[in-house]
Structure 1
Amino acid sequence: MKLKLLAPAAVLTTFCFAMPTSAENVQQIQQLLSTKECGGCDLSNAGLVRANLSNAQLGEANLMRANLSRAQLMGADLRGADLRGASLFGANLMGADLSGADLRGADLREAYLVDVNLTDAQIEGANLQDAIGTPATVMDVADVYNWGVRAAQQKNLDEAIAYFNQALSLDPEFAPAYLARSIVRAQKSDLPGARGDAEIALELFAIQNNPQAFEATQQLIAQIDAAQNPDSGNNGGGGFMRFVGSMGALLLRLML
């Protein structure tokens, strides 16, 4: 009989240790899932992966570090919600109201943000990489540029160009993106395109008084010209590709 009495106790002890140690309020989570109404609730650290929370009422809710990955939050009322450090990876937030919400440090990668209201929302440090429909007003050109640099380092050249295009749509005078796109185009053997981007970068670096980047861009143009005219005596070949590859260190220094 002792063994039979001890076994349930052991299971209960294991269950208790597996529960969150502080903020997750099971009763309020159950309320949210059953009624979709939990304004002002403490849902910090809640596990809500793939939860169907369309049109949920979550105004002023505490969702710090909650896991809402892939959750359906279409039309949800999240006004003033605390979403610091929350995971909204791949979440569908179409038409959600996030006005006044605190999204600092939140993971919004691949989230669907079409028609989202972000008025007065705090988004410093939020990861918006590959989010769909992100308003241009909340995008950081330096972040987009950095995503492109990382993609180029991983040899995802088409993806890198797409990021640099996006950065330039946000700021047409963002010189580092022209230089970076020039380097990637050279790696893809698009020398005319690479030269065109390098010329724009050169002009902008001159205007913006960046002598280091200006000189490096001049060298890149000279290398491109030599590669386009191998009979000139300056053989591009492998030396040209090595030079282009070495420009990656400059791109890192230009990360803002």
Structure 2
Amino acid sequence: MQTHRAIAMKFHNFASLTLFAALFWVVPAKAENLQHVQQLMSTRECQSCDLSRAGLVFSNLSAVDLSQANLSLANLNQANLSGSNLANTDLSGAVLVRANLSGADLSGANLAGADLREAYLYGANLEGANLDGAILQGAIGLPEELIGAQQFYSWGIAEFQRGNFSGAIDYYNQALTKEPDFSAVYLARSLARYRLGDEEGAIADANRAEQLFAAEGNENGRLASVQVAEGIVEAQEALEEANGRGGGGGGFIRFIGGLASMLLRFGL
């Protein structure tokens, strides 16, 4: 049996941990280093500076020297960083949406998880840069060798979910250029083709996906592909019958919703 002292000690430890947890959430996040921000804007160089979480939206930072600086989680949305020295800079989690990085030296930079959507990257040096988890959709001038089939495929899924089926197919085609036997891409492209009214192409892609999944030993993927091919035929027949009766296409819409869920399940 536990003594009163032991129970009291456990309660004390629990209370201490609870207090620590409460304080952890109450203490505000580390603010940006205003002194280093001021140094950057006045001298246009701030090597090894702490600029994490800095708000630099729309800033003109062309040709600045930020080598080895800490810009993690910084907001550089639409900033002009053309020709800047960002070698070995920590830009992990930074927002660089539509930022101008043309001619910038990003060699050895840590861009893990950075948001580079629609960033301008022509002439940028990305040798040795870490792009793990970076959002690169719509980035302009990004060297093609840095984009893998999986990335193109993920962009295709995003476009499909937005209803941009032609755009999705463009990304799927690029994924297949990189990896011609990417089974999930064929399954995904079949859905996009069907939404564009290309039933024949959709069925052909589903059949190809079935073959590839079977070769991989992926029975779930193979069965999904069979269901897609058969479902396209059945849904089209049901839609034609409903139209003949003057009915709606509710079953068709539900079918497509089911295929979209299947796409996510077997594609990633």
TM-score, normalised to structure 2, is 0.76
- Structure 1 unaligned blocks of 5 or more: 1-19
Aligned match of 1:135: 143
Pair 1:21–1:150, CA change in 2 (3 A): closer
Q: 2:114 aligns with which of 106, 115, 122?
A: 106
In percent, how many aligned pairs have the same letter? 49
Contact residue 106 and residue 125 of structure 2 kept, 8 A:
yes
Q: Structure 1 residues 201-210 or 64-73, which shifts more?
A: 201-210
Aligned match of 2:258: 246
Contact residue 235 and residue 255 of structure 2 kept, 8 A:
no
Counterpart code for 1:180: A
Aligned match of 1:69: 77
Pair 1:136–1:208, CA change in 2 (3 A): farther
Q: Look up the SS of the partner of 2:229 in the other structure.
A: helix
* Cα offsets for 1:165-198 (capped at 9, x unmatched): 3322332221111111111111221112213322
Contact residue 178 and residue 200 of structure 1 kept, 8 A:
yes
Q: 1:219 aligns with which of 208, 218, 227?
A: 227
| Matching of residue 204 in structure 1 with residue 212 in structure 2 | yes
Pair 1:58–1:136, CA change in 2 (3 A): same
Q: Look up the SS of the partner of 1:96 in the other structure.
A: coil
Counterpart code for 2:98: G
Contact residue 226 and residue 235 of structure 1 kept, 8 A:
no
Q: Look up the SS of the partner of 1:155 in the other structure.
A: coil
Structure 2 CA distance for aligned equivalents of residues 101 and 236 of structure 1: 58
| Matching of residue 123 in structure 1 with residue 106 in structure 2 | no
Structure 2 CA distance for aligned equivalents of residues 198 and 22 of structure 1: 51
Structure 2 CA distance for aligned equivalents of residues 96 and 54 of structure 1: 9
Contact residue 227 and residue 235 of structure 1 kept, 8 A:
no
Contact residue 109 and residue 130 of structure 2 kept, 8 A:
yes
Aligned match of 2:104: 96
Pair 1:236–1:64, CA change in 2 (3 A): same
Q: Look up the SS of the partner of 1:247 in the other structure.
A: helix
Aligned match of 2:20: none
- Structure 2 unaligned blocks of 5 or more: 1-27, 244-248
Counterpart code for 2:131: I
Q: Structure 1 residues 156-165 or 109-118, which shifts more?
A: 156-165
Alignment of 1:1-256 (within 5 A): 22-224=30-232, 238=249, 242-256=254-268
Figure out how many residues of one structure are paired with residues of the other and give that number: 233
Structure 2 CA distance for aligned equivalents of residues 68 and 25 of structure 1: 15
Structure 2 CA distance for aligned equivalents of residues 199 and 116 of structure 1: 42
* Cα offsets for 1:221-256 (capped at 9, x unmatched): 33445678x6xxx96975566434422221111232
Structure 1 CA distance for aligned equivalents of residues 80 and 196 of structure 2: 39
1:80 CA drift (Å): 0.4
* Cα offsets for 1:126-150 (capped at 9, x unmatched): 2112212222333343343233223
Pair 1:168–1:146, CA change in 2 (3 A): same
Counterpart code for 1:60: Q
1:29 CA drift (Å): 1.8
C-alpha RMSD of the superposition: 2.6
Counterpart code for 2:206: A
Q: Look up the SS of the partner of 2:267 in the other structure.
A: coil
Contact residue 56 and residue 74 of structure 2 kept, 8 A:
yes
1:110 CA drift (Å): 1.4
Pair 1:251–1:102, CA change in 2 (3 A): same
1:101 CA drift (Å): 0.9
Counterpart code for 1:197: D
* Cα offsets for 1:68-92 (capped at 9, x unmatched): 1101111211110011111111111
Structure 1 CA distance for aligned equivalents of residues 207 and 112 of structure 2: 38
Structure 2 CA distance for aligned equivalents of residues 72 and 214 of structure 1: 48
1:67 CA drift (Å): 0.9
